[in-house]
Structure 1
Amino acid sequence: MVQFRSLLFTPANRPDRFVRALESGADAVCLDLEDAVAPADKASARAGALEFLAQRPAGGVQVGLRLNGRSTPWFADDLRAAAPAEADFFMIPKASSAHEFGMLQRALGDARPFWPLVETPEGLMRCWDIAEAPGVGGILFGAFDYSAEVGCDMSWEPLLFARSQIAAACARAGVQALDAPPGLVGEPEVLSAETDRARRLGFTGRACIHPDQVGPVNAVYTPSAEDVAKAQAVVEAFEAAAGGPALVDGKLIELPVARAARRILERARGRD
């Protein structure tokens, strides 16, 4: 599966925004049937999203659907519609256990990846198992709902424990970890700084709620030419030392450093 630097949420009841979303530069677009759509508009939004998915050109940006939660009255209709839908992946709100993804995989009858949203204390408690569940391609941190459930502030420090748990769980399972979308639009420097903090914590990308957020997020998760050159030098030196310690620019290079360098090169190759 392609690694997402950025994923742009687009309200499924706003078909006028669909093409713009595909042209935003985001690695993935998610048509949102959940939070962005009022109850009265759920059925029409679902129909419009399915029509767009059926007509979009093949290849290019991956497009998925965020379904309504399992406890809502719209979930059953969403699930029936999802099976034949031309979607590349499915976002599942308020994931609470690994067992539900086996059920979802059987209901949909294929191997398209699921993206659980971990946005409750229960989901966070079980995120290690959720990350390893059948069909899961990655986890998205739902910071807004999580902070409301816990009663904590939306700033970095109160959410650091949750972010650290999710990043570690996804790394252990070998799946992607997307950070929550930023709440503010029009502050690219703040956005870049916040995104880089999550990247350094172990997140592999970030969700966005506006096309203007995509560029700064992509920039943070795209290795620079200098980063690639340094990583290549580290890998070459480590391999030349036959797996033993090596020195690059006076710095000791051992296996953990070489692994980090290889991850940079993998991200860079994914953008070629």
Structure 2
Amino acid sequence: MRTRTHPREILLGAQAAANLLPVCDHYSGVEVRMRKSLELQQQMLQEFGACVFDVTLDCEDGAAVGQEKAHAQLVASLLKASPDGCRVAARVHAVDHAAFEEDIAIIAGEAGHKLSHIMLPKVESVDDILQAVRALERASAAHVPVHALIESPAAVEQAFEIAAHPRVQSLSFGLMDYVSAHAGAIPSVAMGVQGQFAHPLVVRAKLEIAAACHAHGKVPSHCVVTEFQNTEALQAAATKANRELGYTRMWSIHPSQIRPILAAFAPAVQEVQEANDILLAAAQEDWAPISYHGVLHDRASYRYYWQLLERAQRTGMPLPEQARQWLDRSAV
């Protein structure tokens, strides 16, 4: 092979920044479930040799009223005990909640070195991001990325500006709050696994968030499927979110949802092999255009196939030898 430059460097350039998050973000807020989630993450880290899902420890819905400080302290202690190689985040209270500042001071202040990111709920505008960034800086955690949860019609209209902020790494869609914010104008069926892909206002919001993320090199994260016992419906929803709506990440609210999400976001085995073969042929020509099975390929398609290989790695798929070597080098 004559190329002297790694394919990630030569193909992606500035696009290489933010898109290497795991495809699944798993939420838990009750202590026993948080501990079990962290144990499962370690088990799957051993199984796959990579961290294939994030664990987000939840203060917003996890903390009992009046126990917000104690819950934040619990989250900080779990973060500090998490082993290297795992990705653990925290969802704090919204910036207008009385517990927000204390959440950040305790969690980011005590365990900022272990935080993969902070999830900020109820984001309405970039002003909320700025407030969170200042709080992280006061906690000496200026390095911690911010993920923003978009949950209202007004926030959807600000999605592009929010996604443009350099500290924002990902936008998530909050389906149930979004539906509730319409004062009954959207029926409750739109909160379910079928209705959320059918109602025009919900689909529009999902597309706006995905488009905002892709415009600014950020990661769009799809909302929950509350029918957690129906794994077939969950996998169908995840596949639709990925293949039709442009989402590259999805929330899980039950351990049984993690593997179906990984499977839905993973490319097909034949796609991985084709990507490997096309990129190997391209590298042998120093990334000049090639003909592969009678089809022209150049750097635009090379970029697509490289990102496909990265997605395969993030979902724990077995990789052809050359792809594995390339991806191992890109992680160094």
TM-score (norm 1): 0.88
> Counterpart in 2 of 1:180?
223
CA distance in 2, matches of 1:242, 1:208: 39
Q: Which residue of 2 aligns with 1:157?
A: 198
Give the letter aligned to residue 179 of structure 1: H
The equivalent of 2:327 in structure 1 is none
Decide which moves more: 251-260 or 106-115. 251-260
Amino acid at match of 1:113: P
Q: Deviations over 1:87-143 (max 9, x none)?
A: 221000011122332332232121111100011111110111111213111111111
For residue 10 of structure 1, the aligned residue among 16, 28, 33 is 28
Please state how far the C-alpha of 1:43 moved relative to its aligned partner: 2.6
Aligned residue in 1 for 2:99: 74
**Equivalent runs, 1:230-269 vs 2, <5 Å:** 230-236=274-280, 240=285, 243-244=288-289, 247-249=291-293, 251=295, 253=297, 256-269=300-313
1:146 aligns with 2:178: yes
State the identity as a percent: 25
Distance 1:127 1:186 in 2: 32
Q: Which residues of structure 1 form unaligned runs of 5+?
A: none
Structure 1, residues 43-92: CA drift from partner, whole Å, max 9, x if none?
321221122222232x1221111011122222222232233132221000
Matched residue type, 2:277: A
Counting only pairs closer than 5 Å after superposition, residues 66-145 of structure 1 correspond to structure 2 as 66-86=91-111, 87-109=115-137, 110-145=142-177
Distance 2:172 2:153 in 1: 14
Structure 1 pair 204/42, CA: closer, same or farther in 2 (3 Å)? Answer: same
Q: Deviations over 1:161-191 (max 9, x none)?
A: 1111111111111111110111111211111
* 1:216 aligned residue (249, 257, 260): 260
1:185–1:212 contact (8 Å) kept in structure 2: yes
Match of 2:270 among 223, 226, 236: 226
Contact 1:64 1:89 survives alignment (8 Å) = yes
Partner of 2:61: 35
The yes-or-no answer on 1:19 pairing with 2:35 is: yes
Larger deviation: 230-239 or 24-33? 230-239
The secondary structure found in structure 2 opposite 1:112 is coil
1:10 Cα deviation after fit: 0.6
AA aligned opposite 2:133: Q
Q: Partners in 1 of 2:145 and 2:295 — Cα distance?
A: 40
CA distance in 2 between counterparts of 1:145 and 1:85 reads: 31
- What's 2:12 paired with? none
State the TM-score, normalized to the length of structure 2: 0.73
Helix, strand or coil for the counterpart of 1:263? helix
Q: 1:137 aligns to what SS in structure 2?
A: strand
Task: Give the Cα separation in 2 of the matches to 1:15 and 1:36.
Answer: 8
Aligned partners of 2:222 and 2:60: how far apart in 1? 18
Higher alpha-carbon deviation: 179-188 or 34-43: 34-43
The equivalent residue for 1:193 is 236
* Corresponding residue SS for 2:110: coil
Q: CA, structure 1 residues 194+235, in 2 after alignment: closer, same or farther (shift >3 Å)?
A: same
Determine the C-alpha separation between the residues in 2 that align with 1:263 and 1:54.
32
Q: Contact between 2:224 and 2:253, CA under 8 Å: does it hold in 1?
A: yes
- Between 1:225-234 and 1:184-193, the stretch displaced more is 225-234
